[in-house]
């Protein structure tokens, strides 16, 4: 197996862009703030820690997707963007969406919050997968 390190690095950048766009002031961010009670003012003291955790999580996700896409491509002989997207979708469904659904259900969080957060994760995984698949 050979990890596409350039793809992983650029996927990390793509992931940070997705996060930046997704949570900018607007429809999604406003709904997310209402559902969580987390406002920019309230989160300001933890911003550096949160950004560090976001960067670490996105880095791990990018490397994990690069490894998974490499394995799937080697196993199938398919190095297409479509294969990369399939791996990204499967990883999101198996690891992210299912875990988030379980945690939010037991924590009695609103279904709409689960949809917002899970949709963000899907956008993140697919954006990263496209970048890796293109390289």
Percent over 90 (pLDDT), the chain? 76
Q: What is the pLDDT of residue 1?
A: 76
Q: Is the dihedral of CA 44, 53, 24, 35 positive or negative?
A: negative
Q: Which residues of the chain have pLDDT under 50?
A: none
Q: What is the DSSP string of 100-130?
A: HHHHHHHTT--HHHHHHHHHHHHHHHHHHHH
Q: What is the pLDDT of residue 26?
A: 80
Q: What is the pLDDT of residue 37?
A: 82
User: What span, in angstroms and rounded, lies between the C-alpha atoms of 118 and 75?
Assistant: 29
Q: What is the DSSP string of 63-90?
A: HHHHHHHHHHHHHHS--SHHHHHHHHHH
Q: What is the pLDDT of residue 115?
A: 94
User: What span, in angstroms and rounded, lies between the C-alpha atoms of 14 and 124?
Assistant: 8
């Amino acid at each position: 197996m050979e990890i596409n390190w350039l793809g992983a690095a650029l996927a990390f950048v793509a992931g940070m862009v997705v996060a930046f766009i997704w949570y900018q002031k607007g429809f999604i961010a406003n709904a997310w703030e209402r559902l969580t009670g987390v406002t920019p003012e309230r989160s300001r003291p933890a911003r550096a820690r949160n950004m560090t955790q976001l960067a670490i999580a996105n880095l791990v996700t990018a490397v994990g997707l690069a490894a998974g896409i490499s394995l799937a491509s080697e196993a199938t002989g398919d190095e297409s963007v479509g294969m990369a997207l399939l791996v990204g979708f499967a990883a999101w469904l198996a690891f992210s969406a299912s875990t988030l659904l379980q945690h939010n259900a037991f924590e009695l969080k609103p279904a709409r919050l689960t949809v917002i957060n899970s949709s963000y994760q899907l956008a993140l995984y697919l954006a990263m997968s496209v970048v890796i698949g293109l390289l």
